[in-house]
């Protein structure tokens, strides 16, 4: 319902976020680029199980009952346990990126970002999901009008008169 809600959308969002991270990571000093890139690639991995496709995309039972952040943590934890001597601190920092990528408890993150990589991932994820979601919404509207219909998730009308 929010963004990239079509077949292939998760892959498109994940790639787009990785490209954004690639562009932004060097702009700031003191960023663990590998950690941030790994977080970008894996942040929504739980959505593979959170959604299902029969004749339309919908939440799966696991998605409704557990949600993609928890599913993602389980999936990544499972993979990490298969790697001998995976560094404990790297696992912790990567899991923190998954846990915190929604930014705040009211948006589904049990903990807010507490590392620079976490903050960057949260903001870049939000940029990518918002821009895609709003662009999809604009494209779905009548072409003649300067304004879109009311966009409920962001509680506003969007102006597109200059894009004609
Ligand atoms: Fe997410
Ligand atoms: Fe995302």
pLDDT in tens, 32-78: 999 999 999 999 999 999 999 888 999 999 999 999 999 999 999 99
- Is there a domain that residue 49 lies in? yes
3-state secondary structure of 120: helix
Taking the centre of ligand 1 as the mean of its atom positions, its distance from the CA of residue 68, in whole angstroms, is 7
Q: Crossing angle for the helix pair 9-24 and 33-42, nearest 10 degrees?
A: 170
Ligand closest to 50 (CA) is: 1
3-state secondary structure of 149: coil
- Is there a domain that residue 111 lies in? yes
pLDDT at 137: 94
- Is there a domain that residue 3 lies in? no
Taking the centre of ligand 2 as the mean of its atom positions, its distance from the CA of residue 50, in whole angstroms, is 13
pLDDT tier at 163, thresholds 50, 70, 90: confident
> By mean pLDDT, which of 34-38, 135-139, 142-146 is the weakest?
142-146
- Stated pTM of the model: 0.92
- Is there a domain that residue 57 lies in? yes
pLDDT at 54: 87
- Is there a domain that residue 1 lies in? no
Residue-number span of the structural domain to which 58 is assigned: 9-163
pLDDT at 46: 96
Ligand closest to 128 (CA) is: 2
What residues contact residue 56 under an 8 Å CB cut-off, 6+ apart?
none
Ligand closest to 71 (CA) is: 1
Ligand closest to 40 (CA) is: 2
Ligand closest to 125 (CA) is: 2
pLDDT in tens, 82-91: 999 999 999 9
The CA R_g of the chain, rounded to the nearest whole Å, is 17
pLDDT tier at 107, thresholds 50, 70, 90: very high
Position 164 pLDDT exceeds 80: no
* CATH code for position 135: 1.10.3210
Query: In the chain, how many domains are there?
Result: 1
What residues contact residue 46 under an 8 Å CB cut-off, 6+ apart?
67, 68, 69, 70, 71, 72, 73, 74, 75, 98
pLDDT at 128: 97
Using an 8 Å Cβ cutoff, are 126 and 103 in contact?
yes
pLDDT at 55: 86
pLDDT in tens, 124-135: 999 999 999 999
Taking the centre of ligand 1 as the mean of its atom positions, its distance from the CA of residue 144, in whole angstroms, is 34
- Is there a domain that residue 2 lies in? no
- Is there a domain that residue 55 lies in? yes
pLDDT at 21: 97
Where do we find the tokens 């300067």?
Answer: 146
Question: pLDDT exceeding 90 applies to what percent of the chain?
Answer: 88
């Amino acid at each position: 319902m929010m963004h990239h809600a079509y077949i292939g959308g998760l892959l498109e969002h994940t790639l787009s976020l990785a490209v954004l991270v690639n562009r932004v990571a060097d702009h700031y000093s003191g960023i663990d680029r590998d950690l941030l890139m790994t977080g970008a690639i894996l942040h929504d991995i739980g959505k593979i199980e959170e959604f299902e496709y029969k004749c339309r995309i919908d939440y799966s039972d696991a998605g409704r009952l557990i949600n993609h952040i928890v599913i993602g943590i389980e999936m990544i934890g499972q993979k990490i346990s298969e790697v001998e001597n995976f560094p404990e601190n790297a696992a912790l920092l990567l899991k923190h990126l998954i846990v915190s990528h929604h930014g705040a408890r009211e948006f589904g993150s049990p903990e807010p970002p507490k590392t620079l990589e976490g903050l960057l991932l949260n903001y870049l994820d939000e940029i990518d999901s918002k821009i895609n979601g709003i662009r999809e919404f604009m494209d779905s509207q009548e072409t003649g009008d300067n304004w879109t219909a009311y966009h409920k998730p962001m509680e506003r009308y969007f102006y597109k008169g200059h894009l004609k």
